[in-house]
Structure 1
């Protein structure tokens, strides 16, 4: 079946049009122009603010003028991940999609359903002539995935709406009323180079699921940086190890799926034997969740220089010691991860080292507790550490009027109560709410699996369910 045949056709039409436009984070010029042109062609008031957010206004439909005004909000950028064997340029090519059963997927890359389905939904409301709604503002933010730049740059007074509907949640039975904040922790150092004194070995880890570093952090998935650290550590006691290079992971908000390390060891046969013992243990640990995991440890050749044994040991110990995964579960909200860290990217090249982390928490103090634990480990290893990109969480308000309206609609339409939750992802609501403290906010969306990985897929039946839910919410917005 082709996407054009899927229902609701208006959503999939707009999603396909959006996905034909390249939109990596921090490189959204093309998609900003695309959305701007979309609003202007509809003769709607359209503007682009100083940072690149696009705001489009549409008057209330007849009979809805006395309802509270609405902001429909989604972000324009997408996480750009692809499988190693896929030749694809996210800056110049549109996403290639296919229908597989009840799911829409991309061919070897991220799909961009996060948050493209939200963007497509707003586009569909804007161009509709038969969907009742109050006065609304469509807010399309930029750079949500790598810095929340659009949300941070949105000035007070830009918006007039009283209720914000954020369309960036990935379970269709959830109504989100809170989220985690985050902070980037970057460790770096430059090391002197010398000739490698031993035999060269390469370790490769690949085939991990990856996933969203917030929503999936509690699922026990493998992290290529952590696994490389364990494999390297297994040889420290009996080997002289000099690291030559490490290239593992990619984006801060994606759980690392693959990576490799090249190193010099005193005795390659002994090192490979010891590392294979660790490999066997790792494969057993992850056999139920990482069925495609591959680890290869082999002799290699390299003309590159290495760093010293002492510096190599410090890096390996840091990778073994730095916290990854859940740090604390919430004592107040059942099954909610309060604080976590994702060791997202490790790069050692020509003596230059960078380790990128994204620490998250719904409680500011524990966010910094995680970040400071990492800082302590990395500084003990002689690295320099910087904190950047801190953003606040979104404090839940479970009794708000819009949440009550949505709960009643959901229960009436679907015969069960929705899950009213807070999530461990970073949504823009907390940042926007800092400048609009009186605004009611809620987040919801269709079911998406594998966000931030090439396994990302969107549920077709869920999009149908969500679209009907969204339209009925708009028709039942409370009076002013």
Structure 2
């Protein structure tokens, strides 16, 4: 931690470091949740932990703020756990290695956990300080945000009375979010059927794509490894009948897949290798701007069994037909995606092949349309579907007072124009608004880059400015 001791704000980075010593992938949050409860107990703070390991820590108002409306500071404790090629990091036990390079903090070939550990660090730093001016505080730290917002789905308002909520889960400093997309995951399942067929095979590996957050980066039209693999399989199948023996790709529902692979049985491996080589050149040219690191590798392998002919055809057809990426742009806000989907994961699981698509939209009817399209394609390819982890959009509040206050404080502090915007990603504010309908909400945060990838990094100076802003905003909420 020695290289962290001299960067500001020290208390924020101290607690960020402490969080990054604790494994906290989505679904593995008990240890970090218990850590937060112990933090509160050691300071004689009122705290609650529910069955989903959500945590609420309360701190009384500072002198003179006793009659002010309570404020909720909110973030999530879980993180997306992704590591780069060659990394031996074990997310179940290894701490995140934090590296400082100038104004940048990153991890060692893994996600950093700034999304959303930095929000938790802000909250802990505030309630751990005795010299700040603030209203009554409720620090709400949720679980499983990254895998479907399961924590906030289970939350109630029993221990929450805040009339203002500050969600610190945004990634661009000076941009205050006041609305977000809703969404759902669509799981398409094919029955896994194999038959004995041995012979020469090829393993196709797609790698080197940038990937990224399926909400924030979807507009950048980066390559989707699963869709690119589908194009290769279809091209091969048109010329030389191939049979799939294995297929997999992607790791997280909210990350654009940067890797995918397939093993195929081929009749003439040299012919198929030539097809793949030619198409690889075309794809590299096609993605030379947004994904210049695209790699398509092929190696010879032996195959012992394959998917049945029917499953083989259905899978390739599905991957080719299913839409991907931006579907509609907002007609209200220039440059904002309204509706998108990300074909995120394909894997063999429970004697089936599962394909997970994350669908997002600010329009409930548009969301339903895309989900229905996926159902139709699945039906035509003999697959079953189900929807999981649905969450509502966060609607714009034209009468929000915290929006105006936050913009005013930021502009006065830094003599810089602030922006009010919406986001094509799911924030917990949509669900929180359902259980706290009278609470005025806003979302903000420091500059975070390449989240949900092993290249995730944050700006240290931006963390400092957002800390100054947060302190001043709380002081002004008297």
Shorter-chain TM-score tier: over 0.9
Structure 2 residue 140 is the aligned partner of structure 1 residue 139: yes
The secondary structure found in structure 2 opposite 1:297 is: strand
1: CA distance, partners of 2:255 / 2:145:
13
1: CA distance, partners of 2:127 / 2:59:
7
Q: 2:378 maps to what in 1?
A: 378
Structure 2 residue 319 is the aligned partner of structure 1 residue 328: no
Task: Say whether the 8 Å CA contact 1:82–1:109 is kept in structure 2.
Answer: yes
The secondary structure found in structure 2 opposite 1:120 is: helix
> How many Å apart are 1:327 and its aligned residue?
1.1
> How many Å apart are 1:371 and its aligned residue?
1.2
Task: Say whether the 8 Å CA contact 2:37–2:55 is kept in structure 1.
Answer: yes
Q: What does residue range 357-372 of structure 1 map to in structure 2 within 5 Å? A: 357-372=357-372
Q: 2:353 maps to what in 1?
A: 353
> How many Å apart are 1:197 and its aligned residue?
5.9
Distance of aligned partners of 1:265 and 1:309 in 2 relative to their CA distance in 1, 3 Å threshold: farther
Task: Say whether the 8 Å CA contact 1:193–1:351 is kept in structure 2.
Answer: no
Q: 2:343 maps to what in 1?
A: 343
TM-score with structure 2 setting the length: 0.97
1: CA distance, partners of 2:48 / 2:348:
43
1: CA distance, partners of 2:421 / 2:111:
26
Structure 2 residue 441 is the aligned partner of structure 1 residue 441: yes
Q: CA offsets, 1:357-395, max 9 Å, x none?
A: 111111111111111111211221111111111110100
Q: What does residue range 47-66 of structure 1 map to in structure 2 within 5 Å? A: 47-66=48-67
2: CA distance, partners of 1:207 / 1:2:
31
Q: 1:415 maps to what in 2?
A: 415
Task: Say whether the 8 Å CA contact 1:201–1:268 is kept in structure 2.
Answer: yes
Q: 1:307 maps to what in 2?
A: 307
> How many Å apart are 1:435 and its aligned residue?
1.3
Task: Say whether the 8 Å CA contact 1:236–1:313 is kept in structure 2.
Answer: no
> How many Å apart are 1:87 and its aligned residue?
0.8
Q: What does residue range 143-182 of structure 1 map to in structure 2 within 5 Å? A: 143-182=144-183
> How many Å apart are 1:292 and its aligned residue?
2.1
Structure 2 residue 426 is the aligned partner of structure 1 residue 426: yes
Query: Which has the higher mean CA deviation after the structures are superposed, 292-301 or 144-153?
Result: 292-301
2: CA distance, partners of 1:140 / 1:228:
39
Q: CA offsets, 1:78-102, max 9 Å, x none?
A: 1011113111111112111101222
Q: CA offsets, 1:328-375, max 9 Å, x none?
A: 111112211111111011114797311111111111111111111112
2: CA distance, partners of 1:136 / 1:21:
25
Distance of aligned partners of 1:350 and 1:38 in 2 relative to their CA distance in 1, 3 Å threshold: closer
Structure 2 residue 74 is the aligned partner of structure 1 residue 73: yes
The secondary structure found in structure 2 opposite 1:360 is: strand
Task: Say whether the 8 Å CA contact 1:173–1:418 is kept in structure 2.
Answer: yes
Q: What does residue range 197-212 of structure 1 map to in structure 2 within 5 Å? A: 199-212=200-213
Q: CA offsets, 1:231-287, max 9 Å, x none?
A: 111112111111100121111011111121001122111111112111111101111
Runs of 4+ residues over 3 Å off in structure 1: 348-351
2: CA distance, partners of 1:363 / 1:274:
41
Distance of aligned partners of 1:12 and 1:47 in 2 relative to their CA distance in 1, 3 Å threshold: same
> How many Å apart are 1:398 and its aligned residue?
4.1
Q: CA offsets, 1:281-302, max 9 Å, x none?
A: 1101111222322111232223
1: CA distance, partners of 2:318 / 2:114:
36
Task: Say whether the 8 Å CA contact 1:240–1:309 is kept in structure 2.
Answer: no
The secondary structure found in structure 2 opposite 1:229 is: helix
2: CA distance, partners of 1:141 / 1:223:
30
Structure 2 residue 278 is the aligned partner of structure 1 residue 282: no
Q: CA offsets, 1:429-467, max 9 Å, x none?
A: 110111111110100000100111111001111111111
1: CA distance, partners of 2:459 / 2:421:
21
1: CA distance, partners of 2:60 / 2:171:
29
Q: CA RMSD in A?
A: 1.4
The secondary structure found in structure 1 opposite 2:195 is: coil
The secondary structure found in structure 2 opposite 1:194 is: strand
The secondary structure found in structure 1 opposite 2:196 is: coil
> How many Å apart are 1:178 and its aligned residue?
0.8
1: CA distance, partners of 2:396 / 2:349:
44
1: CA distance, partners of 2:150 / 2:352:
28
The secondary structure found in structure 1 opposite 2:186 is: strand
1: CA distance, partners of 2:45 / 2:157:
22
Task: Say whether the 8 Å CA contact 1:248–1:347 is kept in structure 2.
Answer: yes
Q: What does residue range 203-242 of structure 1 map to in structure 2 within 5 Å? A: 203-242=204-243
Distance of aligned partners of 1:142 and 1:191 in 2 relative to their CA distance in 1, 3 Å threshold: closer
Q: CA offsets, 1:144-186, max 9 Å, x none?
A: 1112111111113331110000010000021011111111101
> How many Å apart are 1:198 and its aligned residue?
5.3
> How many Å apart are 1:140 and its aligned residue?
0.8
Distance of aligned partners of 1:127 and 1:191 in 2 relative to their CA distance in 1, 3 Å threshold: closer
Q: 1:46 maps to what in 2?
A: 47
Q: 1:467 maps to what in 2?
A: 467
1: CA distance, partners of 2:318 / 2:54:
39
2: CA distance, partners of 1:94 / 1:197:
44
TM-score with structure 1 setting the length: 0.97
Task: Say whether the 8 Å CA contact 1:212–1:452 is kept in structure 2.
Answer: yes
Query: Which has the higher mean CA deviation after the structures are superposed, 168-177 or 340-349?
Result: 340-349
Task: Say whether the 8 Å CA contact 1:306–1:351 is kept in structure 2.
Answer: no
The secondary structure found in structure 1 opposite 2:145 is: coil
